[in-house]
Amino acid sequence: MRTRRILIRAALPFALAVSLVAGPAAAQSPAPLPVLGWSDELTGEPDRLDVLTTVAPISSMIRNIGGDRIRLRGIVPDGTNSHTFDPAPSDARQVANADLIIVNGLALEAPTLDLAEAAKRPETPVVALGDLTVTPDEWLFDFSFPESEGDPNPHLWTNIPYAMEYATHIRDALSAADPANAAAYAANHDRYQAALADLDARIRAAVLTVPEGQRKLLTYHDSWAYWARELGYTVIGAVQASDFSDPSPSDVAGLIDQIRAEGVPAVFGSEVFPSAVLEQIAKEGGAVFIADLRDDDPPGDAGEPGHTYLGMMARNMSIMLDALGGEGSAAFADFAPGDTWIP
């Protein structure tokens, strides 16, 4: 195992130095956080913990708890289908340099895990957040993830209480791998949990603004099953089959009939999974087609303050709940989606 050295910084960060000199008044207007993202090169050097992860929502959570005390590499590019992503041979170097590997689990990242097992150092732990968060009796199966194939729906992170559990498991994993910075990880975790609790409270209030008869979801990719179970919404179907093919003509006709019969106001596509078929289903069923939900691709460009898990979920809720007849945008008008860690 690599021995880490503890670095003593000679100079305080500028924002902290100013606050110490100027007193409490200066602390009321802190400098914006640097937006570090999750595209670091893992170097294998002992000055920081090298963390390898997969999809952007998890990467964003890890950044908020690890802050600038880690190097973080999200191996699945933003906006890529994580179910079918196959890492390149060049990614093996990133894996080999990782001190810690954190994945979603629940069979989401099988090719990446295969690479990790082949290329990682023997002492590098692999932490599967989903497997730590739910037990098999809590798994959900659906059209995109049928029980007959054995793998549950892995999209736990769209349900905020599960995201809060993810954050705690991330804190524990970072602290176990890097005990010298455990106090910093704990403090960052507490700040992030406060932001997640705020997000959860806003969502719980906003979902109630949707008329009861309109609390129904038809999506392309079935990413919202755990969210719907938590908040009392009904997922009436998902268009994308488990093999990522388009639905059969009979499936399309059945979904159109169901939209008409149940009065579904909106049908939701994904920016990651464009679908002309879903647009056709919405049109023929008399529903509005919304094509820009994101389940694993934060909004904006990398490096922008809103390109975070918090920003992704706030945007999704604004779009989804407005389209269903509620007041989603109002609930998140003053929500701060940026990172919460402290340098």
Residue of higher predicted confidence among 72 and 85: 72
Q: Which residues of 35-74 are buried (b: 16+ CB within 10 A; e: fewer)?
A: ebbbebebeeeeebbbbbbbbbbbbbbbbbbbbbbbbbbb
- Yes or no: say if 153 and 226 are a contact pair by the CB < 8 Å rule: yes
- Report the share of the chain in percent with pLDDT over 70: 86
State the burial class of residue 87 (Cβ atoms within 10 Å of its Cβ: 0-12, 13-18, 19+): buried
Q: Quote the pLDDT of residue 277.
A: 85
Q: Quote the pLDDT of residue 179.
A: 98
Residue of higher predicted confidence among 122 and 76: 122
What torsion, rounded to 10 degrees, do the Cα atoms 43, 45, 48, 50 define? Answer: 40
Q: Does domain 209-331 have CATH number 3.40.50.1980?
A: yes
Closest C-alpha to 256, from 271, 237, 274: 237
Distance from C-alpha of 49 to C-alpha of 299, rounded to nearest angstrom: 27
Question: 73 phi and psi, to 5 degrees?
Answer: -125, 115
User: pLDDT for 117-156, tens place per residue?
Assistant: 999 999 999 999 999 999 999 999 987 788 988 899 999 9
195 token code pair: 């932001």
Give the model's confidence band at 250: pLDDT under 50 very low, under 70 low, under 90 confident, else very high. confident
Mean pLDDT score, 211-231: 92
State the average pLDDT for the chain: 86
Enter the pTM of the model. Answer: 0.87
- Report the share of the chain in percent with pLDDT over 90: 64
Count of CB atoms within 10 A of residue 15's CB?
16
Give the model's confidence band at 52: pLDDT under 50 very low, under 70 low, under 90 confident, else very high. very high
Residue of higher predicted confidence among 244 and 167: 167
Q: Quote the pLDDT of residue 28.
A: 40
Q: Where are the domains of the chain?
A: 34-201, 209-331
DSSP conformation letters of 308-337: SHHHHHHHHHHHHHHHTTS-HHHHTTT---
Q: Taking the CA atoms of 233, 237, 239 and 242 in sequence, report the sign of the dihedral they define.
A: positive
Mean pLDDT score, 92-110: 95
Topology alike, domains 34-201 and 209-331: yes
Q: Does domain 34-201 have CATH number 3.40.50.1980?
A: yes
230 has pLDDT over 60: yes
Distance from C-alpha of 177 to C-alpha of 125, rounded to nearest angstrom: 9
User: pLDDT for 177-197, tens place per residue?
Assistant: 999 999 999 999 999 999 999
Give the model's confidence band at 25: pLDDT under 50 very low, under 70 low, under 90 confident, else very high. very low
Q: Quote the pLDDT of residue 271.
A: 75
Mean pLDDT score, 25-48: 74
